[in-house]
Amino acid sequence: MALSEPVLVKRIPTPPWGDPADRKYVGYDHFTATGGYAGLKKSLGMAPKAVVDVVKDAELRGRGGAGFPAGMKWSFLPPEDGGRRFLTVNADESEPGTFKDRLLLDFDPHLLLEGIAISMHACRLDTAYIYIRGEYHHQAKTLQKAIDEAYAHKIFGPDSILGLINNFWPQCYVHRGAGAYICGEETGLLESLEGKRGWPRIKPPFPAVAGAFARPTIINNVETLAMVGPIMERGAAWFKSMGKGRSEGVPPTAPASFGPKLFGVSGHVQRPGVYEEELGIKLSTLIDKYCGGMRPGSKFKAAIPGGISMGVLGPDQWDAELDFDIGKKYSCLGLGTAGVIVMDQHTDMVAVARNIARFFAHESCGQCTPCREGTGWMYKILSRIEAGGGTLDDLDLLLELSGSMGALPGTTICGLADGANWAVRTILNKFWAEFEARVSQRRSKVSLAAAGGR
């Protein structure tokens, strides 16, 4: 199984189809000359609902980490009531290991704009806000340049080819974030867009019902929207001819893994970078075929499948198939954003866990106590273990902690703490011996149980 032609990186030279050294910004003319905006033109000839149905048929799952079916999300919108409806594009890519959207924003932003225009037509959304992380200075400028071109060619703005939507000419704006990971959480993003601190909201109401400015809002990741243009141009069947499809034992109504996906590989490999492949590619193939293998002298030890919140794949999972169902199969949280971080035999897993815990402690927004306090303590405990001051009790405490905070145990509003949990818990479980060797075998004399704590 291998992708026969590039889809998302069609205009961005990427191995094995091109040399990254040849990458340059794809402007409006280049984009349209190579088939760009064909999906939009075709969509505009269709009824909005028919466009939603194609995306639904394609079973396009969100590429931002959660893998929620995009077509289904679109169909959650209430009927039009004459008021405004918004699209917010999540370009707040900030989870360690994830750098795939950056490639699209840097070189082929029109692919995103095409998807934006299609979803505005399909869902009757009058204004799109692209929420881009503050650190992406260059990307924000490139995006603005592409948007200006799109306005000049009447994709957006007065007399747009989309026509009036909710009595507005469709608009597309860049909205810059300011360095907060939590704003990648969809409701945190909405709060930030409204000018407030990026504290996630309690759901329901879901954004489709009451999102930005309390109006119906769709939130999609950059890569998800970039995929919409090619799907509309070539059809759902073409999209579903790629990817792993439905894994065995998965009910036919459950979402499956279709289509191509961007994989961002970093860490101890020869040629790190963003590559495009079908969902379901083996980790070993990704590393050996695309990344030139491990670095000289390096042997595979572990890999994070998709941004550090997803947990870790162990040494025996070198052949793991990277699709949306990896969570159950390989005891991790999921595929996430497919930002793969590869680690070799010299990597200290205690330090890895400490690094990850620090990230979440740093980025916790502070709204829910279990996460604000829990991630901080997780970091302190792991730092203590790394420095040699840990005891066996600490390992139990870490496991207990990682089972008690987060949206899955139901103690927090959003899933930030779950990311910390899964990362720390899977590293602990898969590399228990390494942790055990680092802590003193002594158990503290006063146990929590004796103190009535358990």
What x/- string results for residues 51 through 90 when contact with other proteins is judged by CB under 8 A?
Answer: ---------------------------------x------
What's the CA gap between 234 and 242, in Å, rounded? Answer: 13
Give me the half-sphere count of Cα atoms (radius 13 Å) on the Cβ side of residue 340.
34
Site for other proteins in 309-338 (CB under 8 A): none
What's the CA gap between 146 and 139, in Å, rounded? Answer: 10
Q: Which residues of 282-298 are buried (b: 16+ CB within 10 A; e: fewer)?
A: bbeebbebbbeebbeeb
Residue 341 near other proteins by CB under 8 A: yes
- Per CB under 8 A, the segment of 39-47, 98-106, 279-287, 408-416 that binds other proteins is 98-106
Give me the half-sphere count of Cα atoms (radius 13 Å) on the Cβ side of residue 335.
27
Closest approach, Cβ 153 to other proteins, in A, equals 20
- Per CB under 8 A, the segment of 48-56, 146-154, 252-260, 363-371 that binds other proteins is 363-371
**Residue of 36, 71, 97, 207 interacting with other proteins (CB under 8 A):** 97
Residue 195 near other proteins by CB under 8 A: yes
Closest approach, Cβ 124 to other proteins, in A, equals 17
Closest approach, Cβ 234 to other proteins, in A, equals 29
**Residue of 192, 309, 402, 421 interacting with other proteins (CB under 8 A):** 192
Residue 403 near other proteins by CB under 8 A: no
Residue 164 near other proteins by CB under 8 A: no
Residue 158 near other proteins by CB under 8 A: no
Smallest CA-to-CA distance from 59 within 242, 283, 281 is with 242
Place of tokens 């799907």: 231
218, 125 in Cβ contact below 8 A? yes
Rounded to 5°, the CA angle 219-223-228 comes to 80
Residue 299 near other proteins by CB under 8 A: no
Which residues are within 8 A (CB) of 351 and not within 5 positions of it... i.e. 6 or more apart?
386
Helix (H) or strand (E) segment spanning residue 55: helix 48-57
Closest approach, Cβ 324 to other proteins, in A, equals 21
Smallest CA-to-CA distance from 105 within 113, 95, 96, 94 is with 113
**Residue of 29, 80, 194, 319 interacting with other proteins (CB under 8 A):** 194
Contacts with other proteins by CB under 8 A: the residue count is 64
Structure tokens at 163: 């026509």
What does the longest C-alpha to C-alpha distance in the chain come to?
A: 76
Residue closer to other proteins, measured from CB, 58 or 352: 352
Residue 102 near other proteins by CB under 8 A: yes
- Which parts of this chain interact with other proteins (CB under 8 A)? 84, 93-99, 102, 127, 133-138, 171, 173, 175-182, 192-198, 213, 215, 264-268, 272-274, 304, 308, 339, 341, 343, 347, 351-352, 355-356, 358-359, 361-367, 372, 376
